[in-house]
Chain A
Amino acid sequence: MATAKKKLVELQPTDIKEELLKKYPPKVARKRAKQILINEALENDTPEITANVRTIPGIITMRGCTYAGCKGVIMGPTRDIVNLVHGPIGCSFYAWLTRRNQTDAGVDGENYMTYCFSTDMQDSDIIFGGEKKLAQAIQEIYDLFHPKAITVFATCPVGLIGDDIHTVARNMKEKLGDCNVFAFSCEGYKGVSQSAGHHIANNQVFTHMVGENDEEKPGKYKINLLGEYNIGGDGFEIDRILEKCGITTISTFSGNSTYDQFASAHTADLNCVMCHRSINYVADMLETKFGIPWIKVNFIGARSSAKSLRKIAEYFGDQELIDRVEAVIAEEMPQVEAVLAEVLPRTQGKTAMLFVGGSRAHHYQDLFTEMGMKTLSAGYEFAHRDDYEGRQVIPNLKVDADSRNIEEIEIEPDSERYKPRKTDAEMQALEARGFKFKEYDGILPDMEAGTLVIDDLNQYEAEKLVELMKPDIFCAGIKEKYSIQKLGIPMKQLHSYDSGGPYAGFRGAINFYKEIDRLVNSKVWGYMKAPWQESPELSATYVWE
């Protein structure tokens, strides 16, 4: 362990990478080496990282499954659709309210998010097939609630026994008449992570709901917010800001979303993509079919939020909106700056590591930067190469056995409803000014040279990284929380925010500054050793004083 004994300052990124790989069997080490990259931060000329590949059996991964990405992430936060899980009880149970998606029943008062629905398959269903039970379950749900839609999620055994959930759904939709029923083939064994589930969900939402309601919604500047899941109330804060600016959100994919929001999404004039990984498919499909352009936004971080608002205003190009946005930013920023000024002396110079999601490991670096904190290392749990290196790599992505199994749906411009939102000349004028559509440069250009970017970080590597680099805070998910904290390093959950949030927008930034200040400066990290452990030698005094 000669390298481990070196002082922190002497450790080169190559040493750390070597340390991480040392213990692995050769085959594992070879594979992991391609997923650990020492960043060169050369804009648009980033080195290649391997991502979206299988996790190695036995290596304790942070990843979940396709079902989790489909039911848990994308469909979980929809409130007036009944999400029925077809499978043994566990899959539905674990996805029941555990992601902290906040929800508001709204004026219509329909909200099923607090409920958990399952066909609770038994061995007889596995042997004789579960289609009848599924149809009966849909009927029972309909009789009880008369929801607008019932969606069905396949779990692992359903795919194996060959239940035709799509036919059951189609038949029940026909039978019920006033209830949309459709299904997701999101068996847990598909793909290599949650990511496949996002894609499957995107496809089905687009196919079965988007475009159903052509009714013109009021509002002058109409957008869709894509890839915002209202965890800890993030979506509510973004809604507040957009509303204040006079921007109308036609739909959110999919925080606190409703059936009608999906059905009306095609009536918006701009798509704003928050989480690129989980929702870029819908953004592309909405553009191809309906002519709505998309831009990447980021409401994590006060400055990033301001930047995103300005970007939206610039797109619409209306002076009234531009002024309003500036006024809102001017009104919101002083409170943010005041809190930042207060915490900055305590956070400046501290270091962080982030290993979450397909976007958050990138977005949250903005907040840490605002707080004067450096990101030592970061990576995604389930992202693809484009989330690291930028969308320019998409045409060169290798299609492997796992990604081939995930359906790519062919979308064509809608013969009647395709309507470019801007003329070619307008688009060109915007682009000439540096305005970028359909662009995401990924995480690498925003990270310093020499930082370690690690895909699908596992428990062993996390522990090693913390041991070697001693960050002041580590960000990942609930499974990683306590092994990191046992080492005396505070750990912040950036999937579900522990019990905090919102962290998006201006108020969210304030919450985050305070939360990180609390974590990195908590007294508790100073109590690790008892006095007799710190100085075990006996006192020289012979008698009690």
Chain B
Amino acid sequence: MLLRHTPKEINERSAVTINPAKTCQPIGAMYAALGIHGCLPHSHGSQGCCAYHRSALTRHYKEPVSAATSSFTEGSSVFGGQANLLQAINNIFTVYNPEVIAVHTTCLSETIGDDLPQIFDKARKEGTVPKGKTLIGAPTPSYVGSHVTGFANMVKAMADLAEPTGKKNGKVNVIPGWVEPSDMEEIKRLAGLVGAEITLFPDTSGILNGPLSGEYHMFPKGGVTVGELKGCGDATGTLALGEWCSADAARLLDTKHKVPCRILDMPFGLKATDRFIDALRIVSGTVVPEEITCERGQLVDLISDMHQYFYQKKVALFGDPDQLIAMTEFLVSIDMCPVHIVTGTPGKRFEKRIRELTKDLPVPVNVRARGDLFLLHQWIKNDPVDLLIGNTYGKYIARDEDLPFIRWGFPIFDRQGHQYFPTVGYKGGLRLLEKVLDVLLDRKDRDDPEEQFELVL
């Protein structure tokens, strides 16, 4: 047994988190910043933070992840990190020459109270920021929220680059949230089909799923440009996909520049994708083409074909709030029973939303924000499930409890393909269903007695 010390009996804990279902803010900021074209993320803190974030992102995306650090020492921790950041900005523009440096803070620099805008001003005055280059900054204290919060904070900083000209540009801002590069690409494909001209930010497609060609480009072709971000203030509207990841940026554009926004769920599964496509059609004033309606029909078709294997199967899932909300709705919509749902990210709204989505289920449902995998495992021990969905760390529970397991979310350290195959949209829905059915039927084929082992399923 890998998690041999986890007891079935649950005692509430108030101080220790065991096997977290979240990590800290800065990594989210780093991921978001990688979705800006020509951007070097910069971690304002000890160099270990940057090393850990780069390692985790690299292990997940299997792509180069460049980011710099202020390399705090004991001295900078006492006297503040201004000198380090100023030196870093100069070195970065001299050696790596990015278009943008996207600085995020850490628990260290936040506790000290370093003021990014003031340090940026000083850098500009000292002339170390070449003409046409951009500095953006996001406060990402690790002791607030989670990696999702850090992502949202950096996306908000991106939205803050908007410089409205006063003339609408006819484009729609789409904020995809922390999804895979493949998902971002799929959202762009769908928007293209709908005929909506969109600014997608951040956009890591082409950056964290790039080709192998014998050439290394520190700043690959993809990503939203600073010019496009500046244009965000002239958009017709903003669609924010995911309350936790994307809403803050959308609301900023709404309040500051009067760009109306709609907060939608992430488009995972049938219903959430329906709402996304419908909203996109309305805001861009276009007609949904037959091609998309057909894709939708194919997803419905597959649900009907597979329904017999899904009906009332119990599922445990963990991950980030926006993903879990959409996935819970999808599972309920195909008549599965998501019974244990945990996110490490805080937010009572999460629990409320999951309760609403699962209120008609015939079984009791456990849900927890700021929970951990230790608790999830205990719930599973008390009320076993047929399927587990979550990031790679779920494999320890899956093996101990002998559960079919689908890797979905962040991080995935032990399987590949997520960079290339989307799970958003109708096509993504097909892929999710395929994954679910594969693991359920692989289990059936493994467990069925020989006399019941069947060729045709």
Contact = CB atoms under 8 A, between A and B. Distances in A.
Which of B91, B143, B344 has the most A CB atoms < 10 Å from its CB? B143
A156 B216 CA distance: 34
A451 to B, nearest CB: 24
Interface string B201-241: 00000000010111111100000000000000000000000
- In this complex, the member of B51, B53, B84 whose beta carbon has the largest number of chain A beta carbons within 10 angstroms is B51
Contact of B216 (A105, A187, A486): A486
B212 A486 contact: yes
A143 interface: yes
Interface in A145-188: 145, 155-157, 159-161, 187-188
A422 interface: no
B15 A56 contact: no
A143 B11 CA distance: 10
Given A157-B108, A485-B212, A57 B69 contact: yes
Nearest to B9: A144
Contact of B215 (A25, A159, A486): A486
A460 B95 contact: yes
Nearest to B97: A23
A467 to B, nearest CB: 9
Contacts of B344: 89
Contacts of A56: 71, 87, 91
Contact of A144 (B7, B45, B84, B217): B7
Contacts of A524: 212
Contacts of B19: 96, 115-116
Contact of B5 (A92, A115, A134, A402): A115
Q: Which of A63, A84, A90, A134 has the most CB of B within 10 A?
A: A90
Given A189-B73, A482-B62, A483-B64, A528 B213 contact: yes
B326 interface: no
Nearest to A97: B393
B442 interface: no
B77 A483 contact: no
Contacts of A140: 13-16
A519 B78 CA distance: 46
A63 B22 CA distance: 24
A501 to B, nearest CB: 16
A189 B50 CA distance: 12
A68 B51 contact: yes
A109 interface: yes
Interface string A517-531: 000000010011100
Nearest to A528: B214
A195 to B, nearest CB: 12
A481 B58 contact: yes
B73 A54 contact: yes
B54 to A, nearest CB: 5
A144 B375 CA distance: 13
B89 interface: yes
Interface in A21-36: 23-25, 28
Interface stretch (B23-31, B169-177, B431-439): B23-31
Interface in A55-106: 55-68, 84, 87-98, 105
A64 B52 contact: yes
B57 to A, nearest CB: 9
Interface centre among B26, B64, B85, B144 (most CB of A within 10 A): B64
B141 A123 contact: yes
Contacts of B88: 57-58
B68 to A, nearest CB: 5
A57 B91 contact: yes
Contacts of B94: 23-25
Given A58-B92, A460-B96, A482 B58 contact: yes
B457 interface: no
A122 B74 CA distance: 23
A308 interface: no
Interface in B40-94: 42, 45-49, 51-56, 58-59, 62-77, 84-85, 87-92, 94
Contact of A188 (B46, B75, B89, B213): B46
Nearest to A92: B20
Contacts of A55: 47, 69, 71
A478 B58 contact: yes
Nearest to A463: B216
A450 interface: no
Nearest to A485: B212
Q: Which one of A93, A137, A139, A524 has the greatest number of beta carbons of chain B within 10 Å?
A: A93
B111 A126 contact: yes
A204 to B, nearest CB: 19
Contacts of B311: none
B90 A58 contact: yes
A120 interface: yes
Contacts of A6: none
Contacts of A237: none
B146 interface: yes
A110 B3 CA distance: 10
Contacts of B64: 482-483, 486
Interface in B145-164: 146-147
B17 A67 contact: no
Contact of B74 (A115, A118, A121, A402): A402
A402 B147 CA distance: 31
A405 B217 CA distance: 40
B143 A122 contact: yes
Given A59-B68, A61-B71, A459-B66, A157 B95 contact: no
B213 A65 contact: no
A156 B74 contact: no
Interface in A481-538: 481-488, 524, 527-529
A65 B16 contact: no
Nearest to B16: A137
A449 interface: no
B51 A64 contact: yes
B106 interface: yes
Contacts of A203: none
Contacts of B214: 486-488, 528-529
B87 A89 contact: no
Contacts of A156: 45-46, 72, 77, 106-108, 111
B18 interface: yes
B3 A114 contact: yes
B7 A63 contact: no
Contacts of A97: 393
B112 interface: yes
B343 interface: no
A87 B88 CA distance: 26
Contacts of A90: 23-27, 49, 52, 142, 147
Contacts of B74: 189-190, 401-402, 405
Nearest to B396: A114
Nearest to B413: A98
A189 B11 contact: no
Nearest to B40: A60
Contact of B16 (A141, A483, A485): A141
A479 interface: yes
B125 interface: no
B2 interface: yes
26 contacts: A25-B91, A55-B47, A55-B69, A57-B71, A58-B95, A64-B52, A65-B48, A87-B107, A90-B52, A98-B56, A117-B16, A123-B144, A157-B107, A160-B111, A188-B72, A188-B108, A189-B77, A193-B47, A401-B73, A402-B73, A479-B55, A486-B212, A486-B214, A488-B212, A528-B213, A528-B214
Given A93-B20, A477-B55, 18 more contacts: A55-B47, A56-B87, A58-B68, A58-B90, A89-B23, A89-B24, A90-B147, A94-B23, A94-B53, A115-B18, A119-B15, A136-B14, A136-B16, A156-B108, A188-B72, A401-B73, A479-B65, A486-B214
Interface of B: 2-5, 7, 11, 13-20, 22-27, 42, 45-49, 51-56, 58-59, 62-77, 84-85, 87-92, 94-96, 106-108, 111-112, 141-144, 146-147, 210, 212-218, 344, 374, 393, 396, 413
